[in-house]
Chain A
Amino acid sequence: MTLLTVVQAAYFVAAVMFILGLKRMSSPVTARQGIVQAGIGMVIATIATFYFYFFDASGNYVLHVDNLVLCIAAIGIGTSVAWISGKKVAMTDMPQMVALYNGMGGGSAAAIGAVELFKAAALAGAAVTAIDMQAAQEQFGFTKSLLAVVGALIGAVSFSGSLIAFAKLQGWMDKRYTFPGQQAFNLLLFVAAIVLGGLLMFQLDERIIIAFFIVCLVLGVSMTLPIGGADMPVVISLYNAFTGLAVAFEGYVMQNPALIIAGMVVGAAGTLLTQLMAKAMNRPITNVLFSNFGGGGAAAQEISGSQKPVEASDAAVMMAYAERVVIVPGYGMAVAQAQHKIWELTQQLMKRGVKVKFAIHPVAGRMPGHMNVLLAEAGVPYDLIADMDDINPEFPNTDVAIVIGANDVVNPVAKTDPTSPIYGMPILDVSLAKNVIIIKRGKGTGFAGIENALFYQDNARMLFMDGQAAGAALIAAMKELDGGGH
């Protein structure tokens, strides 16, 4: 048994551990073991790979000192920077960190493609005769060069696109950047990338390689710029799938099964996850990428009535003497860091014998399940948290529904107004509850920029306060009730 066999075995073990790890991550009980297991697989694969710094293709001992130093430096810097930033980031900022790390993976895949193409170009360039040239092309092979080019294209788009997604969610570029003919421009870039990539299959020229990568990177930026914040989760998930595919394709070029399997598993899983998200938002993925959401001033139906404010003390009374209360948290709650106060309020209510549940819309927060993470951080137990399909039939029997920091996902126009951009999106039927209290800082609209008809309903009362302050005021009012009542 040669040492190379051990390396191959290590890749096999890593691939198995990735699949088992992901499988375990799909259940809350075993999820933690799952990521640890996948992590061990990664360490095994990484250690095994150092083999290539000591032995050449035929298994002879050749030490590439400067390459080894570069490699260790790169791993050291990359790991420590990402580790520290990952430890520090707040839970609310998790989506953009996933975007950032995903972009790095895409960039890495594109870098692999770039080096392979440059190497092949060097071989072709050294060829003197047409026969040498053909030999050089053949050594790289048609399938290999095709997948190297496609993987590089996808990886580069994922890299620059994810960085834009990160910048948008981080609030560095919170506008949608559009200009006339943008879609035609994007199409042109895409065609240019395909043409340059196709040229590379026949003419391995360094200038074409450079032009190809520039076009791919610009395409990623240009594709992501016009997409609004509300659609960002779908886009991040899509780029996650892209990176997986890019890794799988470059894995074929490197003839490395660990890369192929891990990349392909993620590519497929990411694609499905993207579909699930797009479905939950009722936004076909083509709309996310090619249409301008909320940009048009379509004549929406008039909303009649007015918003009726309520004091925290009155709101507290309504909740305290209710039988069933449903809390509908949205991203705004997390931004206000109000989840701990809301959980404290919930405990107060439960002490009084009120039945409290949390209703989670599939896209509450910035990604599906993001809100569950934020509530878990505050210590809210699982069994109080209900999915949209489970909680919707219960709203007519709910005495008080409290909406905090959520907007579009409770807007009844999604069911009533066919001209609305969010028409058809599944919503939480909060409007059917006997009373609705909406905690909101001001009268602004949600992500989608649409007026919310719920706020104007007769059973709705607005508590115009910051989420955290509202939580504190409600708790205080509730305690006062106890003091006076018993």
Chain B
Amino acid sequence: MIDGFIALYIFMLAAFTGYEIIGRVPVILHTPLMSGSNFVHGIVMVGAMIVLAHADTTLEKAIGFIGVLLGAGNAAGGYVVTERMLEMFKSSKKGG
């Protein structure tokens, strides 16, 4: 059970982690990183999957279905777009 102060600690430490990671990023990677972090919150799909697994009524199932659909779109789209951007950064290294 994640509760009370344990939850607060997790929230706090995760927030610092996020802040630290971005703090030292060169400007040229801001767009890919925004896209990459957009992919990471695609984990919401997992939450929606659990909700759908436990859905009983038709309404719950319908909303759960939409949740998983949107979450999957977030994850898949975020991955493809980020990967495409970073792919180009890789190829540009041979120049110069």
Contacts and interface: CB of A to CB of B under 8 A. Distances in A.
Contacts of A115: 51, 55, 60, 63-64, 67
In the complex, which range does the number of interface residues on chain A fall in? Answer: 35 or more
Interface residues of B, number: 85
Contacts of B66: 74, 107-108, 111
Interface in A329-369: 360, 362, 365, 367-369
B43 A263 contact: yes
A75 interface: yes
- Most interface-central of A105, A248, A384 (chain B CB within 10 A): A105
Interface string A366-406: 01111011001101111111010000000000000000000
Interface of A is mostly: helix
Contacts of A39: 39, 79, 83
A49 B49 contact: yes
A410 B66 CA distance: 45
Contacts of A95: 31
Interface of B is mostly: helix
Contact of B52 (A32, A34, A67): A67
Interface string A143-187: 100000000000000010000000000000000000000000000
B11 to A, nearest CB: 5
- Most interface-central of B41, B42, B49, B93 (chain A CB within 10 A): B41
A252 B2 contact: yes
A397 B94 CA distance: 29
A332 to B, nearest CB: 18
A444 B79 CA distance: 37
A159 to B, nearest CB: 8
Contact of B10 (A86, A257, A267): A257
Contacts of B75: 42, 79, 82
Interface stretch (A19-27, A455-463, A468-476): A19-27
Contacts of B46: 11, 45-46, 49, 256, 258-259
Contacts of B52: 67, 70-71, 74
A85 interface: yes
Interface string A293-320: 0000000000000000000000000000
B50 A79 contact: no
Interface in B72-87: 72-87
A74 B51 contact: no
Interface in A246-284: 246-248, 250-252, 254-273, 276-277
B80 A83 contact: yes
A25 B63 contact: no
A372 B31 CA distance: 9
A14 interface: yes
Given A35-B83, A78-B71, A264-B14, A52 B50 contact: yes
A262 B83 contact: no
A21 B49 contact: no
B48 A97 contact: no
Interface of B: 1-3, 7, 10-11, 14-19, 21-57, 59-61, 63-93, 95-96
15 contacts: A22-B36, A31-B89, A42-B79, A71-B53, A75-B69, A101-B78, A109-B44, A111-B63, A115-B60, A256-B50, A257-B2, A259-B47, A269-B18, A372-B27, A382-B92
Given A25-B82, A255-B2, 12 more contacts: A22-B37, A42-B75, A42-B79, A45-B46, A67-B61, A75-B68, A114-B63, A243-B41, A244-B37, A247-B47, A264-B11, A367-B31
Task: State the 5 A-B residue pairs at the shortest beta-carbon distance, nearest first.
Answer: A78-B72, A111-B67, A268-B18, A381-B95, A86-B80
Interface of A: 11, 14, 18-19, 21-23, 25-28, 31-32, 34-36, 38-39, 42, 45-46, 49-50, 52-53, 64, 66-68, 70-71, 73-75, 77-83, 85-87, 89, 91, 94-95, 97-98, 100-102, 104-105, 107-109, 111-112, 114-116, 118-119, 122, 143, 159, 236-237, 240, 243-244, 246-248, 250-252, 254-273, 276-277, 360, 362, 365, 367-370, 372-373, 376-377, 379-385, 387
